[in-house]
Structure 1
């Protein structure tokens, strides 16, 4: 029990503390809420191991990296074809990550076209629809050691069109194989006009330039962009083709010729999506510095950084 003197003293001490809080609020303010990442939607990340078993990217590791780089949401892409990676990354893993963090991670689904599936296209539709019902927002990364318009590949495109989800693909001289001018890709894009194709990889991004030979299609050309690039032609003629500006190939396509690259991004502002291909702890990602250097108009940045992905993936 407090005596009268102790009680009066405690009241005075409390009043003094309250007065201090009112006159010096900075000293007593609660910790500010953590800043919420809002700048980007990244349409290309992976979790798990890629080629190095000692560099495994966990879900927590991906989320921490996203917070550090102001990435609001990220697409998690499976890799299910033997040519796509050393360590396969399954759809179930991407779905589980999306279910655990629905406000941050966007799962895609994938199945190798050569995998045994009963019922042809209808069988594929049944499988893909089941994944969509569990939260998948797209198909990919479609990175398969076949010609881009091989009949088995075309079955996948038909199924994705029927289900109504976009497909993110990889092109080079080993996976999703094509020729200079991307005529195999054009065959698929024109055959399935209601399917949104999202392009990625050396073969896709090298095709920002004309004048390519087959070797250059699978590489990272460093010379100035030449007229007649297949990407501009395809985007001009087909409303269902988009670009994922991730990885070294995406960065190189713009950085190799910054003047052309900046004009291209402004010209195709409704077709380009921000991506990184972040897949291992500590990985360097050049896209952040690239966009700082480009100084694009704010409305163009908004579309590339978030708006186009929000629309194509039906996130709102």
Structure 2
């Protein structure tokens, strides 16, 4: 079965390479996706307005890409941190334009911030899943902020039971192990070593059926691969709410989780239903593809 990649960052036009990380155009990315057995990708939006010197696909650009490459890409919308009074109307418009969710939601405010709460409320009413990047504190990089233990996330999961939350980034996946440290440095590390049972994240997955997991990048991938026995059990236990993704931005990137999933399935360590759900079927169902 071919994969659906729920987490890509691309542009409509190809920008020249620089000494730093470059971004591929949607067209130039297609051969690379085909090579990785990815039949469809979901584009992450960086917001409503493009103020970057090297854009990574804002709402309108993501929409245009999907109009040009209808069979290869769909998109999620995003919001800028501004007017709180028309959040529902803005999201409703983007949904009408074809957005299948909100992502990558990364406003660097605490999860209980009024604006973020209003986004959650509107997203729940509009049935738009929200894929969020998490940061360990305000003023640090980007992403919505929760403290160690993810207690504000738990409040939101309880408050908005019909909203599908899709977790991503190191501070989210760090909580898979009970011995998760609470310092900024520890929360920003990729997971490694044996998982200690009793972590907050497995508890949240068990208690809240509206919590989903984005397995992209080294944050999600390492959380699963760090402890093979635990990882395979976690995949099977929550096989209806885990989604394959890469977080690639160009056609020279590749993350190891895709091949690892293939290998585990081929050797019989991962059953067919779990493999197909994670790689494809969950995305089809969640985003109505």
Question: Would you call these one fold, judging by a TM-score over 0.5?
Answer: yes
Q: What per-residue deviation string (whole Å, max 9, x for no partner) do you get for residues 265-310 of structure 1?
A: 0111111001000112301321222213433111111100111111
Instruction: Find the structure with the greater CA-based Rg.
Output: 1
Matched, 1:304 2:271: no
2:204 to 234, 247, 252: 234
Gaps of 5+ in 2: none
Task: Find the residue that maps to 2:209 and give its secondary structure.
Answer: coil
Report the more deviating stretch, 227-236 or 244-253.
227-236
Could you tell me which residue of structure 2 aligns to residue 75 of structure 1?
Answer: 42
Report the more deviating stretch, 43-52 or 87-96.
43-52
Per the alignment, do residues 54 and 312 of structure 1 end up closer, same or farther by CA in structure 2, a change over 3 Å counting? closer
Could you tell me which residue of structure 1 aligns to residue 177 of structure 2?
Answer: 209
Task: Find the residue that maps to 1:170 and give its secondary structure.
Answer: strand
* Large movers: runs of 4+ above 6 Å: 49-54
User: Matches of 2:21 and 2:182 in 1, distance apart?
Assistant: 34
Gaps of 5+ in 1: 1-37
Matched, 1:313 2:287: yes
Could you tell me which residue of structure 2 aligns to residue 10 of structure 1?
Answer: none
User: Matches of 2:20 and 2:79 in 1, distance apart?
Assistant: 23
TM-score (norm 2): 0.88
Report the more deviating stretch, 97-106 or 43-52.
43-52
Q: Would you say the 8 A contact 1:81–1:144 is kept in 2? A: no
Per the alignment, do residues 214 and 54 of structure 1 end up closer, same or farther by CA in structure 2, a change over 3 Å counting? closer
Report the more deviating stretch, 58-67 or 211-220.
211-220
CA RMSD of aligned residues (A): 2.2
Matched, 1:130 2:104: no
TM-score (norm 1): 0.80
Could you tell me which residue of structure 2 aligns to residue 96 of structure 1?
Answer: 64
Cα displacement (A) at 1:207: 1.3
Could you tell me which residue of structure 2 aligns to residue 18 of structure 1?
Answer: none
Per the alignment, do residues 233 and 105 of structure 1 end up closer, same or farther by CA in structure 2, a change over 3 Å counting? same
Could you tell me which residue of structure 2 aligns to residue 35 of structure 1?
Answer: none
